[in-house]
Structure 1
Amino acid sequence: MGCDGGTIPKRHELVKGPKKVEQVDKNASLIARWNYCAISQTLLRKPIVACDLGRLYNKDALIEYLLDKSADKCIIETAKHIKSLKDVKELNLTDNPVWKGDKANAKGDKFEDFHQAAFICPVVGLEMNGRQKFCYLRVCGCVFSERAMKEIKTQICHKCGEPFKEDDVIVLNGSKEEMADLQRRMEERKLAAKLIKKTKKSKATESASKAGLAKEISGPSSQKHEEKANTIDKTKSTLSSTSAAENGQLSSSSTSTSSGKVCKRSYTEIRGKSEAYKSIFTSHSSAKRSKEQKPNWITHTAYYY
């Protein structure tokens, strides 16, 4: 059986078999994930941020995405979990001294090595091109290779000296299993943060309610206590003033007697006093003696003067 021209068709042209699954080029996927932003699909430029799932973004592109609140906004699946800049961490990357950038092959007449990366591990020196696993710390944002973290096991950052935990280590552009683990850890952290906020709010409301009840209960009694305290203070002030006046009078009388001068009080001052009080003074009739009672002679001693 032939066609119009005498050609003989082959079996694969007549019988359609199952389609082959298209395989993604590994080199192309590595270049796309490690050299380009996950939102804008532009080359990664500093400042670079990473989310809790290990994806890389340009900070300015992420800010533009978060600020766009229009109804026709295209929601990108890679950044769907990011609600604010608190959900990402700015990376502290180490520049590759060999990297020349786009200027090395500006004319297009040289071989361009796509496996050469702009950043390296500061401990081991491996290039961050996707061939080796890299991770960053949520505490400080420093980036290291997984080999460096395994060879030098420590709980302190190799670059800045910030302490960290195992939960703070996040793999960059990991596999599906690693992404699922990071997703679970991210959800657990968010739930823990919500519980902490609820407990803080409940404690604040309880303290405020207790303070209000204490004020309502102790309202009239506290006013009474304040009034009593005011009356006590007033009585104390009056007593202190009277005692000061009496002390001043006593001091003046003592000074006058010590100087040898006898101060006599007028009749108007003693008029309203009792007889017992009047008998103290020499002007009273009881203090006056007759001539018969007076002695004929007086012996002068040292106490007389």
Structure 2
Amino acid sequence: MGCDGGTIPKRHELVKGPKKVEKVDKDAELVAQWNYCTLSQEILRRPIVACELGRLYNKDAVIEFLLDKSAEKALGKAASHIKSIKNVTELKLSDNPAWEGDKGNTKGDKHDDLQRARFICPVVGLEMNGRHRFCFLRCCGCVFSERALKEIKAEVCHTCGAAFQEDDVIVLNGTKEDVDVLKARMEERRLRAKLEKKTKKPKAAESVSKPDVSEAPGPSKVKTGKPEETSLDSREKKNNLAPKSTATNESSSGKAGKPLCGATKRSIADSEESEAYKSLFTTHSSAKRSKEESAHWVTHTSYCF
């Protein structure tokens, strides 16, 4: 009637009922979200980055994922929306002075306080352990609690003073509703960026194909007119300037009868200079001697015999 050894089985051992739904421990889930990387499942260490959906990653893990996108990685689905390093923002976190970390006793008889976090809100002082909602600004990367945003309403970052908009506020490790809202914003932002790139390309092509006419020097700036009129005007101007130039040359020279040296060529033999001055040049009659009259060598000193 029973199993071996005289044991009597009970009903729940023989009849299989519906499986019980396994409940996830909330504390363990919070620890996994706020203390471990979503991609590599390693402990978060600086530099820490966050995506546009509010998930936390180690920057080294994101770079490795972008360099090696293999289908074997099951955790790659969590970062499938990250296409480049520009899609993540490096976070500026404030350390918690009460956080001991690994400095305490590591023998195993230590009570780990799961509500104690490594980072806190620099404005209000709340610990970033998942019990309170935290967010970061996509423009500057500063992290603070959502309570700080509600209590101190401003259009400028509380820590660094950078201006931001509602679209720049991203909730960290939010609920499914928060993730859906952030996903819709992300898609709109990327579509807007693509449209801006498409509009910039044709403008750049037009600027290259059509250069500015105003900047081009030369004949483009000259006023167009009849060619015959311009040629006649230029000839008249040249004729008018010619007698003026000769008059200025005569006035500048000392003797009115003699023209300038560069104007006409004249021989020295016909000039009114003295014979001693004329004998210095080869055109003088004294320089024209026959070979018999001229010596074949010349002495410069009296010591040559």
Give the TM-score, by structure 1 length: 0.72
Give the TM-score, by structure 2 length: 0.72
Q: What do the CA deviations read for 1:110-141 (whole angstroms, capped 9, x no partner)?
A: 21212211100001100000110100000100
Compute the displacement of 1:163 (Å). 0.5
Change (3 A) 1:95 1:238: farther
Change (3 A) 1:238 1:103: farther
How many residues align? The count is: 250
Compute the displacement of 1:251 (Å). 3.7
Tell me, in whole angstroms, the C-alpha distance in 2 between the residues paired with 1:83 and 1:246. 82
Structural RMSD (CA): 3.5
The answer for the alignment partner of 1:200 in structure 2 is 200
Within a 5 Å distance, the mapping from 1:242-281 to structure 2 comes to 242=242, 245-246=245-246, 248-249=248-249, 251-252=251-252, 263=256
The answer for the alignment partner of 2:126 in structure 1 is 126
1:145 aligns with 2:145: yes
Percent of residue pairs identical: 62
Compute the displacement of 1:56 (Å). 0.4
Tell me, in whole angstroms, the C-alpha distance in 1 between the residues paired with 2:109 and 2:237. 102
Change (3 A) 1:69 1:30: closer
Compute the displacement of 1:235 (Å). 7.3
Q: SS where residue 104 of structure 2 aligns?
A: helix
Change (3 A) 1:110 1:71: closer
Compute the displacement of 1:11 (Å). 2.1
The answer for the alignment partner of 2:175 in structure 1 is 175
The answer for the alignment partner of 2:270 in structure 1 is none
Change (3 A) 1:238 1:71: farther
Compute the displacement of 1:225 (Å). 8.6
Compute the displacement of 1:68 (Å). 2.0
Contact 1:105 1:112 in 2 (8 A): no
Change (3 A) 1:15 1:68: same
Q: What do the CA deviations read for 1:146-170 (whole angstroms, capped 9, x no partner)?
A: 1111111111000000000011000
Q: SS where residue 179 of structure 1 aligns?
A: helix
| One-letter identity of the residue aligned with 2:89 | K
Unpaired stretches in structure 2, ≥5 consecutive residues: 260-305
Tell me, in whole angstroms, the C-alpha distance in 2 between the residues paired with 1:238 and 1:44. 88
The answer for the alignment partner of 1:101 in structure 2 is 101
Change (3 A) 1:102 1:240: farther
Tell me, in whole angstroms, the C-alpha distance in 2 between the residues paired with 1:243 and 1:24. 111
Compute the displacement of 1:142 (Å). 0.2
The answer for the alignment partner of 2:45 in structure 1 is 45
Change (3 A) 1:50 1:21: same
Contact 2:95 2:120 in 1 (8 A): yes
Within a 5 Å distance, the mapping from 1:1-305 to structure 2 comes to 1-68=1-68, 76-211=76-211, 242=242, 245-246=245-246, 248-249=248-249, 251-252=251-252, 263=256
Compute the displacement of 1:204 (Å). 1.5
Change (3 A) 1:73 1:17: closer
Q: SS where residue 158 of structure 1 aligns?
A: coil
Q: SS where residue 188 of structure 2 aligns?
A: helix
Compute the displacement of 1:65 (Å). 1.8
Q: SS where residue 76 of structure 1 aligns?
A: helix
Unpaired stretches in structure 1, ≥5 consecutive residues: 257-262, 267-305
| One-letter identity of the residue aligned with 1:170 | I
Compute the displacement of 1:49 (Å). 0.4
| One-letter identity of the residue aligned with 1:115 | Q
Tell me, in whole angstroms, the C-alpha distance in 2 between the residues paired with 1:11 and 1:158. 64
| One-letter identity of the residue aligned with 2:30 | L
Tell me, in whole angstroms, the C-alpha distance in 2 between the residues paired with 1:34 and 1:73. 22
Change (3 A) 1:199 1:75: farther
| One-letter identity of the residue aligned with 1:89 | T
Change (3 A) 1:243 1:145: farther
| One-letter identity of the residue aligned with 1:76 | G
Q: Specify which structure has the higher proportion of helix.
A: 1
Tell me, in whole angstroms, the C-alpha distance in 1 between the residues paired with 2:258 and 2:79. 103
| One-letter identity of the residue aligned with 1:179 | V
Change (3 A) 1:62 1:264: closer
Contact 1:117 1:129 in 2 (8 A): yes
Tell me, in whole angstroms, the C-alpha distance in 2 between the residues paired with 1:131 and 1:72. 34
The answer for the alignment partner of 1:284 in structure 2 is none
Contact 1:48 1:59 in 2 (8 A): yes
